[in-house]
With several copies, the nearest count.
Chain A
Amino acid sequence: MGVCSGRDKVVSLREAAQVIRDGDTIAVGGALSARQPLALIREMIRQGRKDLASVGGAHGVDVDLLVAAGLLKSVQHSYVGFENDFGLAPNYRRVCQEGGVEILETDCNVILQRLRAASFGVPFLPMPRIAGIDLLEGNPAFRVVACPFTGETLTAVRALRPDVALIHGLKGDRAGNVHLPHPHFMDGLLATAAARTVVTVEEIVAEEEVRRLGVSIPHYLVTALAERPFGAHPTSCYPAYAYDRRHLAEYVRLAKAGKETFQRDYLDAYVNSVTEEDYLRRVGDGEHFARLTGWKDGVAAWQEVFAE
Chain B
Amino acid sequence: MRAYCTVDELMAVALARTIEDHAVVFNGVAVALPYLAILLAQKTHAPNCVFLAGLPAGVDPHPPFLPPTAGDALLLQAAVVTLPLHEIFDLAQRGELDRSFLGGGQIDRHGNLNNAWIGCDGMRVRLPGGAGAGSLSCFARKFTVWSGRHRGNGRSTLVERVDFITTVGHDTPAGSRSALHLKGGGPDRVVTDLCTFDFSGGEMRLKTLHPGISLTCVLGNMGFQPRIPGSLVQTPPPTAEEIQIIRRLDPLKVRQREFSPRQLERKFPVA
Contact = CB atoms under 8 A, between A and B. Distances in A.
A and B touch in the complex (CB under 8 A): yes
Interface of A: 1-3, 5-7, 30-34, 57-58, 60, 77-85, 88-89, 92-93, 96-97, 103, 105-110, 112-113, 116, 118-122, 127-135, 153, 175, 177, 181-186, 188-189, 192, 207, 211, 214-215, 218-220, 235-236, 238, 242-243, 299, 302-303, 306-307
A188 B22 contact: no
A215 B81 contact: yes
Interface string B45-80: 001111000011111000011011111111110001
Nearest to B88: A109
B254 A84 contact: yes
Contacts of B95: 121, 128
Nearest to B83: A218
Contacts of B85: 57, 108, 112, 184-186
Interface residues on chain B, size class:
35 or more
B129 A183 contact: no
A84 B55 contact: no
Contact of B55 (A57, A122, A207, A243): A57
Interface of B: 22-24, 28-32, 47-50, 55-59, 64-65, 67-76, 80-87, 89-96, 112, 116, 124-139, 164-168, 172, 174-175, 177, 180-183, 251-252, 254, 257-258
A120 B180 contact: no
Contacts of A60: 69, 71
A78 B130 contact: yes
A92 B126 contact: yes
A159 to B, nearest CB: 10
A138 B184 CA distance: 24
18 contacts: A32-B69, A58-B71, A58-B129, A60-B71, A81-B128, A84-B31, A105-B116, A109-B92, A110-B134, A119-B94, A121-B94, A128-B139, A132-B180, A182-B76, A218-B80, A236-B71, A243-B72, A306-B67
Contacts of B65: 299, 302-303, 306
B80 A32 contact: no
- Which one of B75, B93, B136, B183 has the highest number of Cβ atoms from chain A below 10 Å of its Cβ? B93
A2 B181 contact: no
Given A32-B29, A132-B174, A5 B48 contact: yes
A208 B28 CA distance: 26
A60 B95 CA distance: 30
Contacts of A2: 91, 94, 96
Contacts of B177: 132
- Which one of B76, B80, B133, B134 has the highest number of Cβ atoms from chain A below 10 Å of its Cβ? B134
A32 B89 CA distance: 18
Given A103-B126, A112-B86, 9 more contacts: A2-B94, A78-B130, A121-B92, A128-B95, A130-B134, A132-B168, A182-B73, A215-B81, A218-B81
Contacts, number: 258
Nearest to A188: B84
B24 A84 contact: no
- Which one of A30, A60, A181, A182 has the highest number of Cβ atoms from chain B below 10 Å of its Cβ? A182
A235 B74 CA distance: 14
Contacts of A7: 47-48
B94 A79 contact: no
A108 B28 contact: yes
A214 B3 CA distance: 44
Contact of B86 (A32, A135, A189): A189
A7 B49 CA distance: 10
A306 B131 contact: no
Contacts of B74: 302
Contact of B73 (A92, A130, A188, A236): A236
B68 A128 contact: no
B29 A58 contact: yes
A31 B181 contact: no
Contacts of B181: 129, 131, 153
A131 B96 CA distance: 19
B50 A107 contact: no
B80 A97 contact: no
A303 B139 CA distance: 36
Contacts of A92: 126
B71 A30 contact: yes
B134 A192 contact: no
Contacts of B71: 30-34, 58, 60, 183, 185, 235-236
A3 B90 CA distance: 12
A105 B82 CA distance: 28
B55 A5 contact: no
B33 to A, nearest CB: 9
B240 to A, nearest CB: 24
